[in-house]
Structure 1
Amino acid sequence: MTEDRGLSENSALIKICGIKEEATLRGMAGLRVDYIGFMFAKSRRQVSPERAAQLQETARSVPMAGGKPPLTVGVFVNPTIEELEATLSVVPLDVVQLHGEETPEFARQVRERLNVEVWRVFSMKDEENSADGAARLASYAGTVSTVLLDTAGGGTGRTFSWDVIPAYRQAADSSGLRLFVAGGLSPDNVDKLVAAYRPEGVDISSGVETDGAKDIGKIAAFVERVNNA
């Protein structure tokens, strides 16, 4: 079950992904950050389970806005159940985010066997029909809590065509799923996204970095833009 973060119904939840340093977490103290993400898939932001456990411990000691620490999300691409079990035995994540070709049945197994919240990423390809994608989304009803729309390839710093969002939003609402949006977001465009499409949440990584490192000033600006949208 998704935890109530104590936000108004009009507030988009915020996830900052690709966390690698304790200093980033400490710098976010007092900001409204609801989720932080650790990359376990191959990436320049990849961390080991042991490193993620250290970061999670720090995160739990850093009060965000409202006094609550952020929930922790692990990002995986086509993992096995055994790999997830091994990772969660080291770092007890709040959420497993599946970013590959994982089926609804696999997502169900993860949720039931590991007793963890599961999110499913949909990669937005320019040639994909949004009606077909929305139908595919509905197949995850009852297996995941959240669907996250991202630019194909992930971590590209590019947005996808936002005009497909309403079809996915309607399908998510009908299926009892939350809809998050990622892909090319930044402090310069997130207010436009939130104001126009009202996703339940937004997810950012490279858009709050400078020279490949998380930038507290950009994170603060991003949070402010979401809050004011």
Structure 2
Amino acid sequence: MTFSVSGSSKIKICGIMDDATLQGMSGLPVEYIGFMFAKSRRQLTPERAAELLAVVKQIPMASGNPPLAVGIFVNPTLEQLAETLSVVSLDVVQLHGDETPEFCRQVGERFKVDVWRALPILEDTANQPDRGTQRLDAYKGAVSTILLDTAGGGTGKTFRWDVIPSYQEAAIRNGLELFIAGGLNPGNVNELITTYHPVGVDISSGVETDGVKDSHKITAFVERVKYS
């Protein structure tokens, strides 16, 4: 199978936990994989993440390069990040808690990693998109990427996609890339891609069967994104 990836949205498969999932991604145009370090049923130790990262570097991918490694954290301290990064070489630190722009800036400067900030789409900001998009202004220069997610995270539910254009405008204004997460799956991602053309998409539970990553669903998801 070959993919035409020029101009396509980037893909991040989050919550990687085992070698089999990585082996099943062989040949797919997946740009990022995510390791969960926050409390979750998918939580990994830094040591286990390092083992998986060694595996993925041996797997042939569509681009010829292994996907970049993203570590997901919720309200970590700089010391906790230092300890994790001393064990596993992450390309991206993704922050999902109450981290301030200044903390995000410190992370990037201290550890020389790309920093992403996840922001939930709350109901009140969904009804007032201008109010919601103002949050992006504060992160200009502090992070490279904003990831919009359904409030609560890991709910398997989408947020109101009609707010995306307002956030896209704010992201462009602030020099940020915008990824979309929250309730995505092989059945609905084509609509998202063809309607809003996001820079990237992030998925975890939407490519699982009974709580385990499903290689067939991952392949189907990638096809929907890259062929849209």
Per the normalisation by structure 1, the TM-score is: 0.95
Equivalent residue number for residue 118 of structure 1: 115
Distance 1:106 1:155 in 2: 24
Please list, as runs of the form range in 1=range in 2, the aligned pairs for 1:165-176 lying within 5 A after superposition: 165-176=164-175
> Of the candidates 9, 19, 26, which is equivalent to residue 16 of structure 2?
19
Letter paired with 1:94? D
Alignment of 1:89 with 2:48, yes or no, is no
For 1:212, the equivalent position in structure 2 comes to: 211
Q: CA RMSD in A?
A: 1.1
Specify every segment of 5 or more residues in structure 2 that has no aligned partner in the other structure, as ranges: none
Q: CA shift at 1:7, angstroms? A: 5.0
Candidates 53, 56, 73, aligned match of 1:56: 53
2: CA distance between counterparts of 1:186 and 1:108?
32
Task: After TM superposition, list the pairs within 5 Å mapping 1:125-140 onto structure 2.
Answer: 125-128=122-125, 129-140=128-139
Deviation string, structure 1 residues 70-126 (Cα, Å, up to 9, x no partner): 000000000001100100000010000000110000000000011110000011111
Residue type of the partner of 1:151? T
Measured in 1, the distance between the counterparts of 2:140 and 2:5 equals 24
**Amino acid corresponding to residue 75 of structure 1 in structure 2:** I
CA distance in 1, matches of 2:178, 2:5: 16
TM-score, normalised to structure 2, is 0.96
1:68 aligns with 65
The answer on whether the counterparts of 2:5 and 2:29 sit within 8 Å (CA) in structure 1 is no
Paired letter, 2:212: A
The alpha-carbon deviation at position 217 of structure 1 amounts to: 0.1
Match of 1:142 in 2: 141
Compute the displacement of 1:67 (Å): 1.3
Identity percentage of aligned residues: 63
Give the match for residue 3 of structure 1. Answer: none
Alpha-carbon distance between aligned partners in 2 of 1:97 and 1:59, rounded to the nearest angstrom: 19
Q: Which runs of 4+ in 1 moved over 4 A?
A: none
Aligned to 2:178: 179
* Aligned-partner Cα distance in 2 for 1:61–1:154: 31
Tell me the SS of whatever aligns to 1:169: helix
For residue 172 of structure 2, what is the amino acid of its counterpart?
D
Contact 2:104 2:142 in 1 (8 A): yes
Cα separation, 2, equivalents of 1:193 and 1:218: 17
